């Protein structure tokens, strides 16, 4: 028996073991957007719900789509089905999804707009169905499957709240910073407070791990990265760990490049998720030395499949094999992915 196997406090679930720093011969695996449009059963349940937001706010159906990829593939983790923009809606911004185009929001563009947002303590009113989804999942998941909750990081959510939509370069949020840095900092601070309440309630409802998605962290440079990506993550993680001392937290400062280095240490995260713009060998050397990493297969392999999918999957497993690793994609699986390719990826990982 290894030393780890004799430790009485050693977690049973593979994802929790990786997050506790254990190196495993076969890494645990899940996929971002594993419940999504590439699955026919997801499309059927979404049609039953009516639209995407109605699905997010319907606990029975949101739990059902969360479970679908677990039944089909036996992933090691299930991620709550919801969206990072719901918190903006809970704070008072209008949110809707334009069919085939993506999210739309009413805009917050100045300090007065920030001041008009609802305080953190009031977000539960809108978000309580999300906690119901987690409670259902807690009772429905197989005993070996870890339940992951999540929120968007303040910067990424702010880019949508400021622009009212997704943008290529997050220009409107950068423009807000240039025009009124203190006003923008107040928006980040309001989002931080709301995110702490939201994630804490998710943990109380059954989430065993939480993940902070900072999808647009890569567009912040220098001091802006420190002020609007790193420090907010650090404060959110510190507040959550004060309330839930054993809670493992995954941070995903997507496309952070060199700033992935030291991010876990600086923020207190237990794991850093890596996108596929950096190589697994580089991340193993520079990021995994501080603890668990998650990633980082390019999502296009799930569309194309073939020998490249298998060899690339095996190459990533090998690159990260000397330390704690959770296998995942570098970003969400896309609607045009072939569901059979997920089986091929799992076969390449688990043998």
Is residue 160 part of the annotated active site? The answer reads yes
Beta-strand relationship, 102-105 and 95-98: antiparallel
Whether the CB-CB separation of 196 and 124 falls below 8 Å is answered with no
Catalytic residue among 57, 73, 160, 198: 160
* Of the candidate residues 21, 102, 119, 142, the single one contacting ligand CP3 (CB under 6 A): 102
Is 33 in the active site? yes
Work out how close the CB of 6 gets to ligand CP3 at its nearest, in angstroms, rounded to a whole number.
Answer: 35
Q: Active site includes 83? A: yes
Euclidean distance between CA atoms 127 and 198, whole angstroms: 8
> Closer CB to ligand CP3, residue 197 or residue 275?
275
- State the Cα–Cα distance between residues 106 and 184, nearest whole angstrom: 16
Q: Are 103 and 85 in contact (CB under 8 A)?
A: yes
- Three-class secondary structure of residue 277 per DSSP: coil
Measured from the CB of residue 326, what is the shortest distance to ligand CP3 in angstroms?
Answer: 14
Determine, following the binding rule CB under 6 A, whether residue 84 of this chain makes contact with ligand CP3: yes
- Site for ligand CP3 contains 141 (CB under 6 A): no
Residue closer to ligand CP3 (CB basis): 22 or 275: 275
Among 75, 81, 155, 184, binds ligand CP3 (CB under 6 A): 81
Backbone angles phi, psi at 210, to 5 degrees: -125, 150
If we measure between CA atoms, which residue out of 1, 76, 77, 81 comes closest to residue 35? 81
Residue number closest to ligand CP3, CB atom: 215
Binds ligand CP3 by CB under 6 A, chosen from 263, 332, 344, 348: 332
Active site residue 46: yes
Catalytic, out of 17, 38, 42, 46 = 46
Q: Which is nearer to ligand CP3, 254 or 319 (CB)?
A: 254
Q: Does 78 bind ligand CP3 (CB under 6 A)?
A: no
- Partner residues linked to 104 by β-bridges: 96, 165
Q: Which strands make up the sheet holding 77-79, listed edge to edge?
A: 77-79, 146-152, 209-214, 249-253, 271-273, 292-297, 325-329
* CA nearest neighbour of 149 among 85, 81, 235, 216: 81
- Which residue of 11, 129, 166, 262 would you call a contact of ligand CP3, by CB under 6 A? 166
Instruction: Answer yes or no: are the C-beta atoms of 337 and 348 closer than 8 Å.
Output: no
Site track for ligand CP3 across 15-54, x = CB under 6 A? -----------------xxxxxx--------x-----x--
Give me the least distance between CB of 9 and ligand CP3, in Å please: 29
Please give the structure tokens belonging to residue 322.
């000397």
* Mode of pairing for the β-strands spanning 102-105 and 146-152: unpaired
Window 170-189: residues binding ligand CP3 (CB under 6 A): none
- Closer of 70 and 319 to ligand CP3 (Cβ): 70
Assess contact for 126 and 198: CB atoms under 8 A.
no
Count of residues interacting with ligand CP3 (CB under 6 A) = 22
Identify the CA nearest to 212 among candidates 164, 174, 256.
256
What minimum distance in Å lies between the beta carbon of 15 and ligand CP3?
A: 14
Which among 83-91, 178-186, 191-199, 339-347 is the span making contact with ligand CP3, rule CB under 6 A?
Answer: 83-91
Mapping DSSP onto H, E and C, the string for 180-224 reads CHHHHHHHHHHHHHHHHHHHHHHHHHCCCEEEEEECCHHHCCHHH
The footprint of ligand CP3 (CB under 6 A) covers 32-37, 46, 52, 79, 81-85, 102-103, 150, 152, 166, 213, 215, 332
Q: What residues act catalytically?
A: 33, 37, 46, 83, 160
């Amino acid at each position: 028996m290894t030393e780890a196997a004799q430790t009485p406090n050693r977690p049973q679930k593979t994802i929790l073991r990786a997050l506790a720093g254990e190196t495993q011969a076969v890494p645990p695996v899940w996929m971002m957007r594993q419940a999504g449009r590439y699955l026919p059963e997801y499309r059927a349940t979404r049609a039953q719900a009516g639209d995407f937001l109605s699905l997010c706010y319907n606990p029975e159906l949101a739990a059902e789509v969360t479970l679908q990829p677990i039944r089909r593939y036996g992933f090691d983790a299930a991620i709550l089905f919801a969206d990072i923009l719901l918190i903006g809606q809970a704070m008072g911004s209008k949110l809707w999804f334009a069919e085939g185009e993506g999210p739309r929001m009413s805009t917050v563009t100045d300090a007065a707009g920030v001041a008009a947002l609802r305080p953190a303590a009031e977000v539960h009113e809108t978000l309580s169905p999300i906690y119901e989804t987690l409670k259902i999942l807690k009772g429905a998941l197989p005993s070996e499957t870890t339940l992951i909750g999540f929120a968007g990081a303040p910067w990424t959510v702010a880019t949508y709240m400021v622009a009212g939509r997704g943008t290529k370069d997050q220009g409107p949020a950068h423009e807000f910073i240039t025009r009124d840095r203190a006003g923008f900092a107040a928006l980040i601070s309001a989002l931080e407070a709301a995110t702490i309440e939201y994630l804490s309630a998710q943990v109380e409802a059954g989430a065993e791990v939480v993940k902070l998605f900072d999808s647009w962290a890569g567009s912040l440079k220098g001091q802006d990265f420190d002020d609007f990506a790193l420090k907010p993550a650090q404060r959110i993680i510190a507040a959550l760990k004060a309330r839930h001392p054993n809670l493992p937290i995954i941070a995903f400062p997507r496309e952070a490049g060199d700033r992935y280095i030291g991010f876990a240490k600086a923020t207190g995260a237990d794991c850093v998720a890596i996108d596929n713009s950096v190589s697994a060998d580089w991340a193993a050397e520079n990021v995994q030395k501080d603890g668990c990493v998650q990633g980082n297969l390019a999502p296009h392999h799930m569309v194309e499949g073939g020998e490249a999918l298998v060899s690339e999957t095996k190459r990533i497993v090998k690159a990260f094999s000397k330390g704690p690793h959770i296998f995942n994609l570098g970003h969400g699986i896309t609607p045009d992915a072939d569901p059979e390719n997920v089986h091929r990826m799992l076969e390449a990982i688990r043998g």
